[in-house]
Homo-oligomer: A and B are copies of this chain.
Amino acid sequence: MTCRSNESLSKLVEEARPYAASGRVADYIPALGRAEKDDLSVAIFDIGNECYYAGDYKKKFTLQSISKVLALALALSDRGFDYVFSHVGMEPTGDPFNSISKLETSVPSKPLNPMINAGALAVTHMINGRDNKEKIDRIIRFVSSFLDGAPVTCNWETAQSEMETADLNRALCYFMKQHGIIEGDVEDLLRVYTAQCAIEMNCFDLARVGAVLALNGVDPETGKQIIAENVARICKTFMVTCGMYNASGEFAIKIGIPAKSGVSGGIMGAVPGRYGIGIFGPSLDEKGNSIAGMKILEMLAREQQLSIF
């Protein structure tokens, strides 16, 4: 399916773009720091099988935290509901995504949910595979399956940089290892995790992934069931309760759709039964969400009554 440029969407993009000026591009690794602050692109995959875009929709970006949703889907497919949720909780948290305190004070000390870093690391740890290579391959093939088998690439330079700055994630892993939530080699786990975060897409691909979730796991073009309906619902639920970092509650109130953001400036939306949405806008607000991307979603949600509530 081809994705067509859309005039009214372009207007939204131009209206939203100036908001990027007030934010900051993540720069803790060079690959992210090279992003241009006022880049902005959006694609909407209507599950009635049309696709619209605006902005430079071919620009690629790494998934970063957006990958947490897909890793969760794969872990649930590999291990089942009960196993996964005996290692990671289901509750949202008012603490920052990279907090370690709650791990210490919670009894049992399992991560509160799969969208904070600790929980996401525990989820990636549960993905099947004999070794790193097989795990990474399985994740990439799994993501590719959302794109009807189109090739998916990983930005290894980004993955490598993330490895070098991952000390907080190392701390989370060793803490969880001490408490029996994960086992085995921490560096190995981090290699899989950083690879997963470094998977690259453009906003059109991301919209297509969102569309599969919006359709409860069914590919909107081929009609194939990519993931189980229940798995898709679980993913969308976490996207609502904890998809937008510490602004998830506000996002649910103001916009009201399942969405997941990443530090690269990507946002994936999944409007149940209607749309998959992919956005790239690397200028972030203080909570770590794409400023202009949020603005676009706010305008879209109002215009088209997207809120699920």
Contact = CB atoms under 8 A, between A and B. Distances in A.
Given A92-B248, A241-B252, A250-B90, A178 B171 contact: yes
Contacts of A308: 272, 308-309
Contacts of A15: none
Interface string A230-256: 000110111011100011111011001
Given A91-B248, A94-B95, A100-B101, A309 B167 contact: no
A41 to B, nearest CB: 27
A100 B94 CA distance: 13
Contact of A113 (B112, B168, B249): B249
A49 B100 CA distance: 50
Nearest to A103: B100
A256 B237 contact: yes
A155 interface: no
A99 interface: yes
A175 interface: yes
24 contacts: A90-B249, A91-B246, A91-B250, A92-B92, A93-B94, A100-B100, A100-B104, A101-B104, A105-B105, A167-B175, A167-B178, A170-B171, A170-B174, A170-B186, A171-B173, A171-B174, A233-B256, A233-B307, A237-B307, A238-B253, A240-B240, A241-B248, A241-B252, A272-B308
Interface of A: 89-95, 99-102, 104-106, 112-113, 167-168, 170-175, 177-178, 186, 233-234, 236-238, 240-242, 246-250, 252-253, 256, 258, 272, 307-309
